Amino acid sequence: MNQPWRGSFPNPFPHTEPGLTPPVTHDAVVIVPGIMGSELYDVTTNKVIWGLANGGWLAKAWLSRTGLTQLQLTPDELAGDYGRIKARRLLQTPAWSPFLRGIEPYHKLVGTIENTVAHRDALMAFPYDWRLPVAVNARRLAKEAREHLQRWLAHPAHDAARRQAVDERPARLVFIAHSMGGLVTYAALTLGGDTALLADTRGVMTLGTPFKGSVVAANILNTIQGGPLPLPHRRLAAAAATMPAVHELLPQFLCLEEGTDVRHLTPADVADLGGDKDLFKAAQDFFTTLHAQDLPHHRPVVGIRQDTVQSMKLINGVVYASEYCFRTDTDGEVKRHPDTGAPRRYPVWGDGTVHRESASLTRRAIPVFAQHGAIANGREAQHIVSDFLLEDDHLGPDQAEDGIGLNIPDYVTPQSAWDCIVTGSDDPAEVHCTVTAVDEDWEMPVRHEAVADGKLGAKVTLPNTGLYRVTAKADYGPVVTQLVLSGPPDQDTDDD
């Protein structure tokens, strides 16, 4: 006869035992945000012009006549005088932009890194004026990263943490960069003026960085000419036409279809679609130099399975973007159909803004199911970043679990129905979707139905103007989110 066991089970959580050393990195970490991810302050007017700590500024910025005028580069700034605008801190609340869609703040990323470094002083955020040329911000990043490393090496907490490192090596730099921040980091390490900085860097992780540009930038600049479009899109185009950074985000890959051929954008094309040909020529020269440099110890994280524009046609000055791209052999020749000779079209998806093949300098990358503006705050990215900070050796990229995509408009009007599309599933029962207001207590479930093979659709109507977050979660894989701005159909708001 069995007797009842009256012993005790082993502790199922051995990491809670006293005396264990917590897993932390002793390296110095730098966060580099993406475009529109830094708060901008005008020192001449003493006003924040991008990124206030409440959501009300968004409507005024995008819908009033003068909301974005302070973001336009002045003649002095275009000539190299950059003293008017200061980047004071990382974005504090969700923001929104046409075509770039939602930009989430970096609170979760900061929290993850703070829990992984030996001391909070080992972490530095690098807000920057994202309107300016990448090279300008890269030189400042190189200088400030060097100063950050020197401060951390002299910090008492560094000495204690260093004893736990392999061979007790001194701290090095680790960069975690989102979107355009990856370009700034790449340039800082290779062209930033500190020739020893790359040797003092242990690793670089980029999250959705457009190393070869994005067709979305062409859409941004083209909204002046391609109408009719809502006011926010036209406001952005007027400001973007003065910004070197937006021209540096234009595609540097084969993207422009002309009949049965495909080619690169030229400065004349950029002028035709509404941009500045001189700013684009300067961008071409910059990337020719940048791409000639190697970026060792680089780990790219790329968004996948989100509908993403990857090529374009330019007809009478209007951009018609498409969700497919082209491939070339090592000799540069475009892959073509054997019968027609036309370029083959390949859908490779991406994160909704940057297609997958632009988000990595090599073929190897870590895939995640995420939209561009939220990729740095997703659960998957938090685990990947933490693991990257803790490792000593390159262990190779992880494989992403299966997941879904989200495709919604970037701008809608209240009381008007719009399509909320989920890709990667045709079973409504396995997808749970909600829409929540960012600035008030309002939430609505979204009921999808199958509309095509591997695709679910639903009609959504929002009650008021404001910023909303759409969240989709399947029974498998990660959560996918995107921000959408609800505003008037086509009228200026009062500037007061």
CA distance 437 to 218: 30
Give mean pLDDT, residues 288-312. Answer: 95
Does 9 score more than 50 pLDDT?
A: no
Same domain, 152 and 39: yes
Residue 371 lies in a domain: no
> Final residue of a domain: which of 207, 231, 262?
207
Residue 134 lies in a domain: yes
Residue 392 lies in a domain: no
Give mean pLDDT, residues 24-53. Answer: 93
pLDDT tens digit string along 95-139?
999 888 789 999 999 999 999 999 999 999 999 999 999 999 999
CB burial string 233-265: b at 16+ within 10 A, e below? bbbbbbbbbbbbbbbbbbbbbbbbbeeeebeeb
> Final residue of a domain: which of 154, 186, 207?
207
Q: How many CA atoms lie within 13 A of 233 on its CB side?
A: 24
Same domain, 163 and 25: yes
Does 253 score more than 90 pLDDT?
A: yes
Residue 88 lies in a domain: yes
Does 383 score more than 50 pLDDT?
A: yes
pLDDT of residue 2: 46
Helix axes 180-191, 134-153, angle to 10 degrees: 70
Rg (CA), the chain: 24
Q: Give the type of residue at 5.
A: W
Q: Give the type of residue at 384.
A: I
pLDDT of residue 392: 64
Under the banding of pLDDT at 50, 70 and 90, the label for residue 364 is: confident
Same domain, 154 and 220: no
CB burial string 188-221: b at 16+ within 10 A, e below? bbbbbebeebbebbbbbbbbbbbbbbbbbbbbbb
| Region at 466 (left for phi over 0; alpha for psi -120 to 50; beta for the rest) | left
Same domain, 75 and 124: yes
Same domain, 221 and 181: no
Return the minimum-mean-pLDDT range out of 13-22, 148-157, 191-200, 390-399. 390-399
Residue 243 lies in a domain: yes
Residue 170 lies in a domain: yes
Note whether 254 and 358 are within 8 A (CB). no
Same domain, 411 and 312: no
Q: What is the mean pLDDT of the chain?
A: 90
pLDDT of residue 4: 47
Q: 288 Cβ partners below 8 Å, 6+ apart?
A: none
What is the four-CA torsion angle of 210, 374, 274, 73, rounded to 10 degrees?
A: -90
Same domain, 196 and 252: no
Residue 7 lies in a domain: no
Which range marks the domain in which residue 263 is found?
215-292+303-357
Nearest CA to 211 out of 241, 193, 190, 237 is that of 190
CA distance 213 to 283: 11
Sheet with 418-423, side-by-side order of all strands: 405-407, 418-423, 455-460, 449-452
Same domain, 415 and 463: yes
Same domain, 202 and 221: no
Give mean pLDDT, residues 215-222. Answer: 95
CA distance 264 to 17: 60
Does 1 score more than 50 pLDDT?
A: no
Under the banding of pLDDT at 50, 70 and 90, the label for residue 452 is: confident
Same domain, 163 and 196: yes
> Final residue of a domain: which of 157, 185, 207?
207
pLDDT of residue 7: 47
Residue 201 lies in a domain: yes
Burial of 177 (0-12, 13-18, 19+ CB in 10 A): buried
Does 3 score more than 60 pLDDT?
A: no
Under the banding of pLDDT at 50, 70 and 90, the label for residue 55 is: low
Q: How many domains does the chain have?
A: 3
Does 247 score more than 90 pLDDT?
A: yes
Longest dimension (CA), the chain: 93
Backbone dihedral angles phi then psi of residue 99, each to the nearest 5 degrees: 70, -45
Does 395 score more than 70 pLDDT?
A: no
Cα–chain-centroid distance for residue 435?
Answer: 22
Domain containing 471 — which CATH number? 2.60.40.10
Does 6 score more than 60 pLDDT?
A: no
Give mean pLDDT, residues 186-191. Answer: 98
Which tokens in the block code for residue 19? 């005396």
Q: 375 Cβ partners below 8 Å, 6+ apart?
A: 178, 207, 208, 301, 303, 351, 368, 381
Same domain, 419 and 322: no
Paired residues of 346 in beta bridges:
325
pTM of the model: 0.86
pLDDT of residue 262: 96
pLDDT of residue 303: 94
Sheet with 311-315, side-by-side order of all strands: 261-263, 256-258, 311-315, 318-322
Does 225 score more than 80 pLDDT?
A: no
pLDDT tens digit string along 255-286?
999 988 999 999 999 999 999 999 999 999 99
Give mean pLDDT, residues 65-69. Answer: 84
Same domain, 149 and 180: yes
Q: Give the type of residue at 490.
A: D
Does 168 score more than 90 pLDDT?
A: no
